[in-house]
Amino acid sequence: MQRNERFDQADRIIKIGFWVNAALMVMKLSAGYWGHSDAVFADGIESACDFIAIFATMMALKLGRQPFDANHPYGHGRAESLAALLVSVVICATGGWILYGSVVSVIEGDFKSPGWIAVVAAAVTIIVKEWLYRFSTRTGKKLESPALLAVAKDHRKDAITSVATLIGVIGAYYGWGIMDPLAAGLTSLFILHIGYQTFQEAAHDLMDGTAPADFIDALQVLAESVENVEHVHEIRARRSGQYMIVDLKLEMDPEMTVKQSHDVATQVKKLIFDRYPGVGDVMIHINPHEEEHEDLIRL
């Protein structure tokens, strides 16, 4: 898959989520207000916060698709991880805000009697958000896009929120008024957990966290399958947006010429690119096989 095609797909999915989220936001705020449900209205406020997060992600994808330049020799892919970090902060802030509101309502005994419109709004949100989650996750995994996967988790968070909201609103609708703020409080705990997970993953990428072990192992097997590669001395890989950047140290016959070694390294690189479209660059260092050598590093 070509570079622009990858970004176009991610951008298209996020835009769909953006406009669907806008419609749900208006629906939930209206239903919460006219249907007298704090839980549904809080759900609408949460969607408004998501607006900020999704907009930031769209901007990050636009920036991340720019090619490398003199000031950013590794490209602009980290913009996606920064956007995912912002999404996580918005998710956590929203969860904290909902938790605070529900606690205050329970303490003050400020219970309302929701109307049927609030019940319908919560049910519709569950269906739409779960569909958006599955749709976004499928594409996000295919493209290996941290920003798109973060937005997908945000959609799942909304679906979970609305399940608890629906239960609370139905309970309050039939006379158990405390169910409405309790549902909002329970939902906030799910929201905070998802926000923490998203933060962890974004921070891992920004701190040059290593790639999954199975990916590293597969790269070693692939590189060592190339003729004249005696051994893979070391592999390091880190994520930059939708791409992996790989560093390889290959051991070869010390009697080989520079050109021969270069040709073998090029073959390894082409093989990796063909097998893994999510790899953006491969840096290869060559060491003499079965000879003492020192790898200078300061990290």
What is the residue extent of each domain of the chain?
3-206, 213-288
pTM score, whole prediction: 0.66
- At the topology level, CATH places domain 3-206 in Alpha-lytic protease prodomain-like (1.20.1510)
3-206 and 213-288 have identical folds: no
**Predicted pLDDT at 261:** 92
Give Cα separations from 139 to 134, 149, 195, 240 (angstroms).
9, 8, 21, 18
* Rounded CA separation 246/163 (Å): 42
Give the pLDDT of the chain (299 residues) as one tens digit per residue.
Answer: 555 566 677 777 777 878 888 888 888 888 888 887 777 777 787 777 777 777 776 776 676 667 777 777 677 777 777 878 887 888 888 888 888 888 888 888 777 677 788 888 888 888 988 888 898 888 888 777 776 787 788 788 788 878 878 888 888 888 787 887 887 787 778 778 878 888 888 888 888 788 888 889 999 999 999 999 999 988 999 887 767 889 999 999 988 999 999 999 999 999 999 988 878 889 999 989 887 767 777 66
DSSP letter for each residue of 186-236: HHHHHHHHHHHHHHHHHHHHHTTPPPPHHHHHHHHHHHHTSTT--EEEEEE
Q: Evaluate whether the domain defined by 213-288 bears CATH number 3.30.70.1350.
A: yes
Of 89, 214, 97, whose CA–CA distance to 150 is shortest? 89
**Predicted pLDDT at 221:** 92
Which helix H or strand E contains 14, and what residues bound it? helix 3-34
* Rounded CA separation 49/57 (Å): 13
Q: Which two tokens stand for residue 216?
A: 């590293």
Residue type, 199: F
**Predicted pLDDT at 20:** 84
Q: Indicate the length of the chain as a whole number.
A: 299
3-state secondary structure of 254: coil
Q: Which long-range contacts (CB under 8 A, 24 or more apart) does 251-255 make?
A: 251/286, 251/287, 251/288, 251/289, 251/290, 252/228, 252/286, 252/287, 252/288, 252/289, 253/228, 253/288, 253/289, 254/288, 254/289, 254/291
Q: Which two tokens stand for residue 111?
A: 């219970």
**Predicted pLDDT at 33:** 81
CB 217 within 8 Å of CB 252? no
Q: Which two tokens stand for residue 208?
A: 């040059």
